[in-house]
Structure formats: structure tokens, C-alpha cells
Chain A
Amino acid sequence: MTRLEDLLRQQFPTASLMEDISELHVGSFPEWNSLAHFNFLLLVEETFHLQFTVDEMSELKSIRDIRARLAAAGIAA
């Protein structure tokens, strides 16, 4: 099963991530700026075969937000 943590590492290969990523959000480390976040959301979409709305693209700002949105679609990540 692919987990958000793997995708985070894929999007930010140079960032050093802590064990528990659930508290991370846009800006948690320098590489995670708004543009990189957009690319990260596209990666999440592609991996889990779903599409966020325009509003969600600006509202989903943290791992917690994304997990909740995925859970609502029946996806555990």
C-alpha cells in the first residue's frame, strides 16, 4: 500500500522527514512551498486516482487535511 509518507519523500527527496509526518504541513520545511505543494497534490491525485476540486487545491494544506480528505473517499494512507 502506498502511503502519504512515501509520496512526500518522492516529492521532496532532499528533505529530512521525521518519523511521524502527521503534523507536517505546507512550510514545515523550506522545500515545501506553495508550488511544490501543488505538485504534491497532483502526485496524490495520480496515485490514488481521484481529483480534488479547485477549492480543495487551496484548502488541503497539511498531511492531516489530506488524510481526512482521502479517508472521506474511503482511502487509508
Chain B
Amino acid sequence: MLPGNPAWQGLSNDHALKFGDFAEWSSFLLNPPRDSHESDTFVLVVFLQDVISFESISALMKGNASPQDLDDLLAPLLMAIEHFDSHSSNRLIVAWSNAYSPGAIEYARRIPAWELIAFRMEARLREWQTHSRNLFLLPLDRFLAEAGRADCFDSRNYYAAHCRLSQRGLAVLAKQIAELTKRFFSAPKKVLVLDCDNTLWGGVLGEDGVAGIRLGQDGAGAAYADFQRVVRDLGQRGALLAIISKNDESIVWQAFEEHPSMVIRRSDVIGFRINWKDKSDNLAELADELGVALDSFVFWDDNPLERESVRARLPEVTVAEIPREVWHWPGWLASSNLFTSFENTTEDFRRAEMYRSRSLFRSESAQCRSESDFLKSIQLQPTAVPVSDALVSRAAQLAMKTNQFNLRTRRYDEAEIRQITHEENTVSFLVHLKDKFGDHGNVGLVIARRTRNHKVAFLDTFLLSCRVLGRHLEAWMLDQCIQRLGMEQVSILLAEFAPTERNHVAAKFLSEHGFISDTQWTPDWQNMLEPLSNRHEGNFFALDLTSAAVPYLDIYAR
């Protein structure tokens, strides 16, 4: 793999890379390292020709290869991978390639032997993957083909240094590994903001009229329609679609309703600013309206000046550096990874609906005189839900993505969530909420850990999705936590507020719900709450559970 090659530069900027010797692959997989850090990721790069001999393939082709024959050839590799995955809590990326490229005649009447092997290997790994959380597959040939297979392999490198790939091939491998590792540590984007003219359709609506825009039939028009199809598909898989366009609003909606080739429907659009104002101002307003931070926004606009302006004024926003020609857009967006998660949770599919109900909640509550009466009228039905295996991915998603109402912003991935919630001294639950505006799904996560002094627990994680803020659900969550800790004989709940740029909304939660700041602790408490000696004064709080009275609970009394 040529460690030190410039192809690895990008990946090594973000990660510490270590390379193993290929000859040791099986002993490595059969003896997973014990000293690895939980967040370490291992990558196995396999060229089938390095693990299966040409002789055994020749023998195989003399008869009719049965799946069992193929499995026998693959057994050493698959068993080692499965062993590693069962005995290690680290992520394993398996990248594989078939380095042998047969000619057309070999394909014409049968599947070439090496491809049979590759198909079988992928099928077996996919099957294993359905029960595995940490195995990630990288079918390298698909990506090498895209970059040009002939340029990606270099037999000279193989015979001179046992590396089958060229620099270009290594760069492709490194880039795809980087795409995966990036998603391990950061959540996908949430909102796709689109322009209209020369973005959703060709031409200028104000000048060409609804009938005159290019959309649907002809060459470029068909490309715009296909782009809309990709956009709508992203919307249905959890991306929120928004429009920011310098246009007259009425004519834009007219195009949505009347143009026969519009793919995106008005109901797909979760927020919009169609006016003549500066696009950055519109973006900031939209972020506020949706309660989504700007760094979860992707801005898509055909006009380079608008892109430059947004990039300069709102550096948090991802400005899509889109291909100049529209016919490249559908493919570009579909393969961009911007909005893609490894797994789609139920919440992803229902996200648009949830944000729509959030807007409705905001407009109705603005009309109501008393907050408490309003909240009582909307039939809030929270439930505390155990973090079961099926819900680990949602819990991790919340821990990774929640920025605003989050006391400590501890980012836990699935493996960490699973470990923490299984610990004996931990009280943890997800919070599910339904109300008049709909089923919001699992929106909160609480993790409290008892310290060695069993009377004291520490609020490790306390977070709530911003789309259900304004309902005092955090008070109900705290009460649930207190009840559960009470059953464990805990009498003091410690908490920390770790300020970030984004969690101001949670800053006063602790002091407003009966917690006492460590600046006001009595000497008794000071003694009992050691050994928190390296805490930051002013950010630590404690609640006496024997006398705690949580406010706002009447809203939830049924």
C-alpha cells in the first residue's frame, strides 16, 4: 500500500495512519489487537488474487463450481473477517478488488471465475453484515472503474513493490476510506437549499413564463427533471428540502402547480424564502425557523456569485461546488455522500413531516395567550423508552447530532452507546414524544451514571432534539431520571453544563430546575462531591433528590 505515498496525504491529515504487513493479515484478524482505542478503525484491503491461487481457480473451472466450492476457497478469508468482527469492538472496513480483467469472450457465455468468487464473497459478507454493527464494505472495483481501471492498476508496482495499484488507484482507495471515516465522526447534512431559475429548471421564470422554462422533454430540460428526481429522492430519505430564490413567490408556486414536468411538489418543500433579499440573510432566517444549525445546510445555486457570497458570509454552510453543466448534476448529487447515513432510522423517513409539525406548533403557540394552557391543550404524551439494540443507532444519532439542547455535548457512536447503556451503574433511556401535532419519534436521551459513592449519580448525557423545544419536555425527562435514580437509592444528582457555541438554550436549564451551582455548595456537599476536584467552577451543579421539586410537571399530568 506504499505507506508515505502522497496518495495517503489527505487521509493522514485527519487520522494517524499505521500500515500492517500484508503477510500478516490472517494472524492480525484472528488475534484482534487488545490495546486498540475504541475509535480506531481497521481497514483490510484484499486483492482476490493475493488470497486465492490461480491454480485453485483453474481446478475449479474444470467442473461446475458449486456455491460450496466457492465457499471452500473463500473460507480462510471469510472466517478470519468474521472472527475479527466477533471478537473486536473496533470498526473494520473490508475493501476488495478483483485485479484480473478477462476479455469479452470470457464474459460472453459465462461469468468469469474470478467474478464468481467476487460475487460470492460479497454475498457472504453482506449476509454477515446484517448481524454486525462494525463491518463496513468497500467494493473497490466500482470506484476504480469510475476513475479508469487501466490508470488505477500498475503491474510494474506489483512486481517491484507488491502494490497492485498505481498512485491514482491508491488515491481512489484513500478517498473512499476517507468518505467512510468522515461519516464515522460527523453526521450527514440535513437541509438542501435550492435556487429555482437555472437550478430546478432551465431559464428565468420571470422572463420565460411557466410555459417557457426548460423542464422535462428536451435534452437539458430532461436533465433538470432528473436532477429534481434525485433531489426528491433525498427528501424522501430524510433530507429537508428548502428553496431560496430571487423571484416573485406567486409565479414560483404557479410553476410548481402548473408545469406538467415538475417532479418536486410544493408539499416536499419544508421551508422557503422567495424574495429579493440577500440569500445569506434568508439562509440565516430559515435556519432559525427550522431550528437547524447552519452547518447542517447545503446551498445549491447555479450562480457562482451567490455561492461566493454565501461562502464568505456564512462559512458554516456547505456551498456545493457544483459542475457547470446541468447534465452532470443528477449523478453528482446522487453520489455526493452529503446527506447519506450508513443506516436510515425510522426518524429519517419521517423527518420532513416532523419539521412541518414543528412549524405548525410554533405558529399555533404564538397565537395562544397562556403557555401552560396551550401546552396542556396539545395532549403531550411522552414515554421513556429503554435503549434496546434496535434503538442504539437512534441514540447514537442523537448524541452525534444534537447541538442545542445538550448539556455536555458528549459525542458517542453506536459502539460507545451500547457499552455505556449496558453498564451496571447506568440509568439510561430515550424519550419518545407524541402530541396533537404528530408522532415526533425518539427525541431525547438521558444517561446518568452512579459514581463509586452510591448515593451520588452524575448526569452524563441529557439532550433533547431542537424540534420539540418549547414544551418543557426537559422537565419531564428530569423527573423520569429522578424517579429511576430514587429507586436505586441515589440522593444527589450531579450535573455539568459544558458551554459550546451552540448550546446557549440549555444554559439555564439546571439552575431553573432546582440544581445548585458549585459556587454555592455547602461545605458538606463540597466534601461529599470530591473527587471532582478538577472541575470548572461554575459549570457544575447538584440537585438534592430527597427534596427536589421539578417545575412544569402539571403540563404532563394526565
Q: Which residues of A contact B (CB under 8 A)?
A: 35-36, 38-39, 42-43, 46, 51-54, 57-58
Q: Is B89 an interface residue (CB 8 A)?
A: no
Interface 1/0 per residue, B1-41 and A, CB below 8 Å: 01111100000000000000000000000000000000000
Q: Are B6 and A58 in contact (CB under 8 A)?
A: no
Q: A42-B167, A46-B167 are in contact. Are A57 and B5 (CB under 8 A)?
A: no
CB distance from A65 to the nearest CB of B (A): 15
A42 — nearest CB in chain B belongs to which residue? B167
CB distance from A14 to the nearest CB of B (A): 12
How many residues in B have their beta carbons less than 8 Å from beta carbons of A? 11
Q: Are B4 and A39 in contact (CB under 8 A)?
A: yes
Q: Is B61 an interface residue (CB 8 A)?
A: no
B19 — nearest CB in chain A belongs to which residue? A35
Q: Which residues of B contact A51 (CB under 8 A)?
A: 156
The answer, among A39, A52, A54, for a CB contact under 8 Å with B2, is: A39
Q: Is B160 an interface residue (CB 8 A)?
A: yes
Q: Are B4 and A54 in contact (CB under 8 A)?
A: no
Q: Are A54 and B6 in contact (CB under 8 A)?
A: no
The answer, among B3, B156, B167, for a CB contact under 8 Å with A54, is: B156
Complex Cα–Cα for A39 and B7 (A): 10
Q: Which residues of A contact B159 (CB under 8 A)?
A: 54
The answer, among B6, B156, B167, for a CB contact under 8 Å with A57, is: B156
A40 — nearest CB in chain B belongs to which residue? B4
Q: Which residues of A contact B156 (CB under 8 A)?
A: 51-54, 57
CB distance from B538 to the nearest CB of A (A): 44
Interface 1/0 per residue, B147-169 and A, CB below 8 Å: 00000000011011100000100
Q: Which 5 A-B residue pairings sit nearest by Cβ, starting from the closest?
A: A57-B160, A39-B5, A54-B159, A54-B160, A38-B161
Q: Are A38 and B2 in contact (CB under 8 A)?
A: yes
The answer, among A43, A46, A57, for a CB contact under 8 Å with B161, is: A57
Complex Cα–Cα for A53 and B160 (A): 9
Q: Are A35 and B3 in contact (CB under 8 A)?
A: yes
Complex Cα–Cα for A53 and B167 (A): 16
Complex Cα–Cα for A53 and B156 (A): 7
Q: Which residues of A contact B160 (CB under 8 A)?
A: 38, 54, 57-58
Q: List 18 A-B contacts (CB under 8 A).
A: A35-B2, A35-B3, A35-B161, A38-B2, A38-B160, A38-B161, A39-B6, A42-B5, A42-B157, A42-B167, A43-B6, A46-B167, A54-B156, A54-B159, A54-B160, A57-B156, A57-B160, A57-B161
Complex Cα–Cα for A51 and B2 (A): 17
CB distance from A47 to the nearest CB of B (A): 11
Complex Cα–Cα for A52 and B160 (A): 10
CB distance from B151 to the nearest CB of A (A): 12
Q: Which residues of B contact A35 (CB under 8 A)?
A: 2-4, 161
CB distance from A33 to the nearest CB of B (A): 9
Other contacts beyond A52-B156, A54-B156: 4, CB < 8 A: A39-B6, A42-B2, A51-B156, A57-B156
Q: Which residues of A contact B157 (CB under 8 A)?
A: 42
Q: Which residues of B contact A36 (CB under 8 A)?
A: 4
Complex Cα–Cα for A51 and B160 (A): 13
Q: Which residues of A contact B167 (CB under 8 A)?
A: 42, 46
CB distance from B148 to the nearest CB of A (A): 15
B159 — nearest CB in chain A belongs to which residue? A54
Query: Which of A36, A42, A54, A57 has the most CB atoms of chain B within a 10 A radius of its CB?
Result: A42
Complex Cα–Cα for A58 and B156 (A): 12
Q: Which residues of B contact A42 (CB under 8 A)?
A: 2, 5, 157, 167
Complex Cα–Cα for A15 and B64 (A): 58
Q: Which residues of A contact B6 (CB under 8 A)?
A: 39, 43
Q: Which residues of B contact A43 (CB under 8 A)?
A: 6
Q: Which residues of A contact B4 (CB under 8 A)?
A: 35-36, 39
CB distance from A57 to the nearest CB of B (A): 4
B163 — nearest CB in chain A belongs to which residue? A38
CB distance from B262 to the nearest CB of A (A): 48
CB distance from B134 to the nearest CB of A (A): 30
Complex Cα–Cα for A38 and B159 (A): 12
CB distance from B397 to the nearest CB of A (A): 40
Q: Which residues of A contact B3 (CB under 8 A)?
A: 35
Q: Which residues of A contact B5 (CB under 8 A)?
A: 39, 42
Complex Cα–Cα for A9 and B2 (A): 18
B8 — nearest CB in chain A belongs to which residue? A39
Q: Which residues of A contact B161 (CB under 8 A)?
A: 35, 38, 57
Complex Cα–Cα for A46 and B159 (A): 19
CB distance from B132 to the nearest CB of A (A): 34
Q: Which residues of B contact A38 (CB under 8 A)?
A: 2, 160-161
Complex Cα–Cα for A52 and B6 (A): 19
A39 — nearest CB in chain B belongs to which residue? B5
CB distance from B21 to the nearest CB of A (A): 12
CB distance from B210 to the nearest CB of A (A): 52
CB distance from A12 to the nearest CB of B (A): 10
Q: Which residues of B contact A58 (CB under 8 A)?
A: 160
Complex Cα–Cα for A36 and B8 (A): 13
Complex Cα–Cα for A42 and B5 (A): 9
Instruction: List CB contacts (< 8 Å) of B122-176 with chain A.
Output: 156-157, 159-161, 167
B168 — nearest CB in chain A belongs to which residue? A46
Complex Cα–Cα for A58 and B162 (A): 13
B3 — nearest CB in chain A belongs to which residue? A35
B155 — nearest CB in chain A belongs to which residue? A54
